[in-house]
Amino acid sequence: MGDTQDWTAAPGAAERARSVLAAAWSCAVTADGAREEYVGAHTVTDDGAVRLTVPDDSALLTAAICAPRQEPSAVLEFADVAPVPMRGRIRARLHLAGWFAPDRGTLLFRPTRVVLRRSSGAVVVDLGEYAAARPDPLAGAEARLLTHLADAHPDAVERLTRLVRPESLHAATRVLPLAVDRHGLTLRIERTRAHGDVRLPFHTPADDVAQLTERMHALLAQATAAACPRALQGQRADGDR
């Protein structure tokens, strides 16, 4: 487990759950004692129901057709995986318990319990808040944005560490971009046998990629300013000789 720092200006649990759903490409379904994995087979309705397209020979489809009232109980599991390779890539897991019903050639799943599990612990998400929440506007672009930052701009990641408390960087072997959302950027600080996460909040939320670019430039400007006193101290020391 990492020594994760409390996040500032972070998305709430309902928004985080909807963001995991929006970005996830695969899911595991357990129903009627059977477990099946599906890739690229689900979509999400505006109120958070999950529409699943399954093959005709799927055990899940058979269970849905044969169950009393055609509503078998089921659990859906989604993993939120960091797009940049690093230790402990699973950022969160989302578990939805509820009911399936055949609907227009697909299976429509309506959750009756939503649980978001992160390194800080599990949270039961209020169903009303879950239904009303919307995914983070950057969720669909996050993977591309983070991999580009890590691969093309490692110097920028290094500069951002100037905003991190020195004690949080103690014994650090590598720093990588772990997550980004409209509220801020999270860095993963890896050590030889452990890791920790540090949140760098934006001054105001970013509603699209263009605004995110401006927020990132603002963070980098802060990082440059944070380094200036050290540089001035070095100049004064040189001048006193």
Judged on CB neighbours under 10 Å (0-12, 13-18, 19+), 216 is: buried
Residue 208 lies in a domain: yes
Residue 6 lies in a domain: no
Let me know whether 113 and 185 are in one domain: no
Residue 125 lies in a domain: yes
Residue 184: closest CA among 136, 140, 223: 136
Residue 105's pLDDT is: 84
CB 96 within 8 A of CB 50: yes
CB 16 within 8 A of CB 208: no
DSSP 8-state class, residue 32: T
Residue 241's pLDDT is: 45
Residue 235 lies in a domain: yes
Let me know whether 87 and 161 are in one domain: no
Residue 93's pLDDT is: 98
Last residue of a domain, one of 132, 161, 186: 132
Last residue of a domain, one of 97, 132, 167: 132
Residue 137 lies in a domain: no
Question: What is the domain-level CATH number for residue 174?
Answer: 3.20.180.10
Let me know whether 90 and 108 are in one domain: yes
pTM, entire model: 0.86
Let me know whether 163 and 196 are in one domain: yes
Question: What is the domain-level CATH number for residue 83?
Answer: 2.30.110.10
Residue 8 lies in a domain: no
Residue 102's pLDDT is: 87
Residue 224 lies in a domain: yes
Residues 6+ apart with CB under 8 A from 233: none
pLDDT tens string 182-237? 999 999 999 998 899 999 999 999 999 999 999 999 999 999 998 754 443 343 44
CB 181 within 8 A of CB 208: no
Domain range for 59 is 13-132
Let me know whether 54 and 82 are in one domain: yes
Let me know whether 53 and 116 are in one domain: yes
Residue 69's pLDDT is: 60
Q: How far is CA 3 from the centre of its chain?
A: 17
**Six token digits for residue 120:** 């800080």
Let me know whether 17 and 128 are in one domain: yes
Residue with tokens 């998305």: 11
Give backbone dihedrals phi and psi of 151, rounded to 5 degrees, phi first.
-85, -40
> Domains in the chain: how many in total?
2
Let me know whether 102 and 153 are in one domain: no
Let me know whether 125 and 160 are in one domain: no
Let me know whether 119 and 156 are in one domain: no
Let me know whether 198 and 146 are in one domain: yes
Let me know whether 109 and 210 are in one domain: no
Tens digit of each residue's pLDDT, the chain (241 residues): 344 344 347 899 999 999 999 999 999 999 877 889 999 999 999 999 999 999 888 888 877 777 666 455 899 999 999 999 999 999 999 999 999 988 888 999 999 999 999 988 999 999 999 999 999 999 999 999 999 999 999 999 999 999 999 999 999 999 999 999 999 999 999 999 889 999 999 999 999 999 999 999 999 999 999 875 444 334 344 444 4
Last residue of a domain, one of 77, 111, 132: 132
Residue 62 lies in a domain: yes
